[in-house]
Amino acid sequence: MSAVPTTSPLQARRRLRGRLGDLSLHGLTLAAALACLVLVGAIAWKIVALAGPSFDRFGLGFVTARAWDPVKHVFGALPFIYGTAVSSLVALVIATPLAIAIGLYLSELAPRGVRGIVGSLVELLAAIPSVVLGLWGILVLGPFLAHHVEPWLHSTLGFIPLFGDPQQTGQGLFTAAVILTIMIVPIVASISRELFLGVPSDLEEGALALGATRWEMVRGVILPATRSGIAAAVILGLGRAVGEAIAVTQVIGGGTRIGWSLFPPADTLASKIASSYQGAGSGIETSSLLYLAAILLVLGLIANLIAQVIVRRFDPLRGTRE
């Protein structure tokens, strides 16, 4: 057969196939996107519906009510909002500088060989299942914090009300915050490493060519150029901390106390739901737990939205089009 007659139909068929591929790719991605939307909507709908009875009984006052008493059928979310806020914020305060330092080390300072090894170790930390981390928290971290770190903090910084009397058990808000820190650090560290690596090297050279030291270059060019990304990574970490249930439930001790000291036992929204749902004795208690879930869902969505807005709006490397 000569080559000439076969080439043109073959081309046409290939184009057709390509067009079909295009179409099905389009369809598939659209379907996947829609499925996500529908799923989020369905979950939210169900949770809100189930929380209905509790909402009808307690209204928005639920959010600021302090009691949680299944016997008297009085429920309020404030202790758990407090526990969630404090454990996540403490975790963020410890994790953010640590994670940025690790990211900087891995992207700018570490020798090539070390980068790979330390980088994988950090990623490995993220791979520990949270229930395993929680067990370690019960067995090792909690007692260590209770017997060494908390007494030390109390005796040196005890004048700050955050560092009250140490706990004996190692179960408490502070232990939960440290466990959350361990979970957030790898996330924020690996995102910030990517961000730092993404800073164009000609910017770095520009700074160094002016006689800046490495640290001055990092502080003056790399961090400002990546700050919106870092902020988004931190908020992503916050989302993780707010939503984490298992490991927190294992180490936080449980309770409805609200107070200054970081050390006593408490509960977060997530740990309260995880620990109480199975044993919930009444319909109104179950419904109240779902009310907690709805609050958690809203917090998670808000964190995610904020992170996205930050990334879209304030990326300095994208110039001033905005």
Q: How far is residue 76's CA from residue 252's CA, in Å, rounded to a whole number?
A: 19
* Residue 206 binds another protein, judged by CB under 8 A: yes
Q: How far is residue 58's CA from residue 181's CA, in Å, rounded to a whole number?
A: 34
* Residue 213 binds another protein, judged by CB under 8 A: yes
**Number of residues engaging another protein in binding (CB under 8 A):** 22
Task: Tell me which of 1, 3, 71, 112 binds another protein, using CB under 8 A.
Answer: 112
* Residue 47 binds another protein, judged by CB under 8 A: no
Q: Which own/partner contact pairs does 134-140 have at CB distance under 8 Å and 24+ positions apart?
A: 134/179, 134/246, 134/247, 134/248, 134/249, 134/250, 134/251, 135/250, 137/175, 137/176, 137/178, 137/179, 137/247, 137/250, 137/251, 138/170, 138/171, 138/250, 138/251
**Which residues inside 292-321 make contact with another protein, applying CB under 8 A?**
316-317, 319-320
Residue among 9 and 211 whose Cβ is closer to another protein: 211
Task: Tell me which of 205, 260, 283, 312 binds another protein, using CB under 8 A.
Answer: 205
Residue among 225 and 273 whose Cβ is closer to another protein: 225
* Residue 220 binds another protein, judged by CB under 8 A: yes
CA-closest candidate to residue 51, choices 241, 269, 304, 300:
269
* Residue 198 binds another protein, judged by CB under 8 A: no
* Residue 113 binds another protein, judged by CB under 8 A: no
* Identity of residue 59: G
* Residue 224 binds another protein, judged by CB under 8 A: yes
Cβ–Cβ under 8 Å, residues 228 and 314: yes
* Residue 223 binds another protein, judged by CB under 8 A: no
* Greatest pairwise CA separation for the chain in angstroms: 94
Residues in the chain: 322
Residue among 225 and 274 whose Cβ is closer to another protein: 225
3-state secondary structure 52-89: HHHHHHHHHHHHHCCCEECCCCEECCHHHHHHHHHHHH
Mask of contacts with another protein, 64-83, x by CB under 8 A? --------------------
Residue span binding another protein (CB under 8 A) among the ranges 220-228, 257-265, 268-276, 285-293 = 220-228
Task: Tell me which of 8, 72, 127, 202 binds another protein, using CB under 8 A.
Answer: 202
Per CB under 8 A, residues contacting another protein are 112, 200, 202-203, 205-213, 216, 220-221, 224-225, 316-317, 319-320
